[in-house]
Structure 1
Amino acid sequence: MNKRVLANMALLLTAAIWGFGFVAQRVGAKYIGAFTFNGIRFGLGAISLIPLILYMDSKRKRSTRVAVQKTVVETATDNILKSTILPGVLVGAVLYVAATLQQIGLAYTTAGKAGFITGLYMVFVPLFGILLRHKITKNSWAGVIIAVIGLYLLSVNEGFSIATGDFLVLIGAIFWAIHILTIDRFANSVDPLKLSSIQFATCSILSIITAFFTEVVTLEGLTGSLIPLLYGGLLSVGVAYTLQVVAQKHAKPSHAAIILSMESVFGAIGGALLLSERMSMRGLVGCGFILTGILISQMNFSPAKKKVKPALD
């Protein structure tokens, strides 16, 4: 079995972990507030990445052992602040808004619907690219139109109204798209693992501070949400993110995007199996449209250009 096949399997497992994470968040919302839940789970996520960061740093140092003088250390510290910590805090602030809207919304909607609505961020990303002067392809526009039709069938009721939970998750999907674009801005200049750990820590701190002023935390609530918290913090963040980072080194970007979009399908499966959630036929058709829109927006339909070998003299 070659590396690409193994990478695709790892990405599918990542999508499954994230998809069933909606179930964990839905269960957790029954016991503790959104800010408390996110504060703890993202705190666990930030801590879970530390061993991997230390391992990668030690591996990097062994390959490039250089004597460092005091002045160089001071300069490096200043560079770390500007190049890693500040971007991490900025991305973490956006993550805080996105995760908060999603977690509050999950208290009022199903895991299955939340999974598909959140998946719309993959359609919003190329759409928001207009603001960054990115070229929008025809398939991206087609994906947007199809996904909007699916959203209408899934969530819009008579009188053109949308349920509170679905609306919050939808706004959260917009911020997830902004989150992706913000990460993309720093992707080439910041270590991805360190950026992630800092953003998770930032989101955790902001969530805990907000929870202190807005929520009441009880031992009973923490006990009831223990498994969802461990799943959300260690599996959804620590394990799944590590799998994604490792797998995407050997997977095609287009394949990775499509496989990871299956997160919404696993969310619906998890909701049906573990929470006995059921959707109407209209809702199922809507989910189908959304998934189709997501997939079309990630596909490249333009024919590959053949490389022409230069003529030899």
Structure 2
Amino acid sequence: MTSLSRTSTLATFGLLAMTAVWGSTFVLIKDVVGRMPVADFLAVRFMLAAVVMFALFHRHVARLERKQWLRGVLLGALYGAGQLLQTSGLALISPSVSGFVTGMYVVFTPMLATLLLRQRMPPVVWVAVGLATFGLALLSLNGFSVDTGVWLTLASALLYGLHIVGLGQWSRAEEAFGLSAVQMAVIALLCLLATIGHGGPMLPPDRDAWIAVLYMALIAGAGAMLMQTWAQAHLPATRAAIVMTTEPVFAAGFAVALGSDVLGWRMLCGGALVLAAMYLVELAPRRDSKNRLPAEAVHHEV
């Protein structure tokens, strides 16, 4: 195995670990947002993450070129707006429908990469997109109606797709710490602005809520952003998006393990299809790999 392929494999497992952490937060988020407004929860979560990241990585931020600063601001704005749209949509539709619609970034990512970057997608990628989409539907959908909440969530999925494409295009391994910190600061600012209408963010109401918010700020927030930014310096955007569709699989697994859901055929089949999609893009034979540039070398200036 070459050094490049080892790094790519490590990046894939890093994304899987990050996605598992995201999957573990569904039960925690459901409990916390039942006791404090969604925008307030997001503001406190991302402000804590931003403070910690700047305390640890302010020297890395200072070393960023102006161009990377601006890119970090744009990427953070995309992700922060996606978070606000997704949670606003979730207030209007069921969590299962929200999970499926949010997962549609796996469809938007290759479409955006093709349209914006003129990247040619191998047929196996489109097969994987189809498998992942069908798997997400089996995991998440029990009826579907197109209303305002669906459109808001679909808009968030589009923004997440743009964030994945942009991060894959602009992220450099040596700048991951600084770029992650800039993104987190912008996300925190957007979420804080969303709380101004009712007088600023409400703090978590009790110790259990604080523990949950700290976990989601430091592990699922700062840690996950660092891992995603580093991993996408080594993986094509579409491949990263398909790996990240394992989030509902992990979420379902944690729900079953914690006794809040029952293992059924839809969960088994949907999870198997998502994992099969990841297998296709990660382990399928790459017959033309010798003729391709490595992922780290295909970044273009925008």
TM over 0.5: yes
Larger Rg: 1
Which consecutive unaligned segments of at least 5 residues does structure 1 have?
Answer: 61-78, 308-313
1:280 CA displacement: 5.8
- Distance in 2 (CA, whole Å) between partners of 1:6 and 1:181 is 20
Which consecutive unaligned segments of at least 5 residues does structure 2 have?
Answer: 292-302
- Distance in 2 (CA, whole Å) between partners of 1:173 and 1:277 is 25
Give the counterpart letter for 1:96 in structure 2: G
The Cα offsets for residues 162-220 of structure 1, whole Å up to 9 and x where unpaired, read as: 58767654442322111111223432499222222111111111111111215785556
- Distance in 2 (CA, whole Å) between partners of 1:201 and 1:57 is 11
- Distance in 1 (CA, whole Å) between partners of 2:14 and 2:277 is 24
1:146 CA displacement: 2.6
Instruction: Name 2:128's counterpart in structure 1.
Output: 143
1:84 lines up with 2:68 in the alignment: yes
Give the counterpart letter for 1:32 in structure 2: M
Give the counterpart letter for 2:134 in structure 1: I
Which of 198, 205, 216 aligns to 2:182? It is 198
The Cα offsets for residues 55-104 of structure 1, whole Å up to 9 and x where unpaired, read as: 7689x9xxxxxxxxxxxxxxxxxx84x32332222111111121113333
Higher RCO (Cα < 8 Å, 6 or more apart): 1
Give the counterpart letter for 1:135 in structure 2: R
The Cα offsets for residues 101-160 of structure 1, whole Å up to 9 and x where unpaired, read as: 3333455544x77666544434431222121211121012212323333344445555x5
Which of 10, 15, 22 aligns to 2:19? It is 15
1:34 lines up with 2:34 in the alignment: no
For the 8 Å contact 1:46–1:196, the answer to whether it is kept is no
Q: TM-score, normalised by structure 1?
A: 0.70
Q: What is the aligned-residue RMSD (CA, Å)?
A: 4.1
Greater Cα shift, 286-295 or 135-144: 286-295
Give the counterpart letter for 1:134 in structure 2: Q
Calculate percent identity across the aligned residue pairs: 30
Give the counterpart letter for 1:23 in structure 2: V
- Distance in 2 (CA, whole Å) between partners of 1:220 and 1:11 is 29
Distance 1:306 1:138, change over 3 A: closer
Distance 1:92 1:56, change over 3 A: closer
For the 8 Å contact 1:156–1:163, the answer to whether it is kept is no
For the 8 Å contact 1:24–1:231, the answer to whether it is kept is no
Give the counterpart letter for 1:97 in structure 2: A
1:81-230 correspondence runs (5 A): 82-106=66-90, 108-110=93-95, 118-132=102-116, 133-156=118-141, 161=145, 168-188=152-172, 191-213=175-197, 218=202, 221=205, 225-230=209-214
- What SS is found at the alignment partner of 2:194? helix
Instruction: Name 1:46's counterpart in structure 2.
Output: 50
Q: TM-score, normalised by structure 2?
A: 0.72
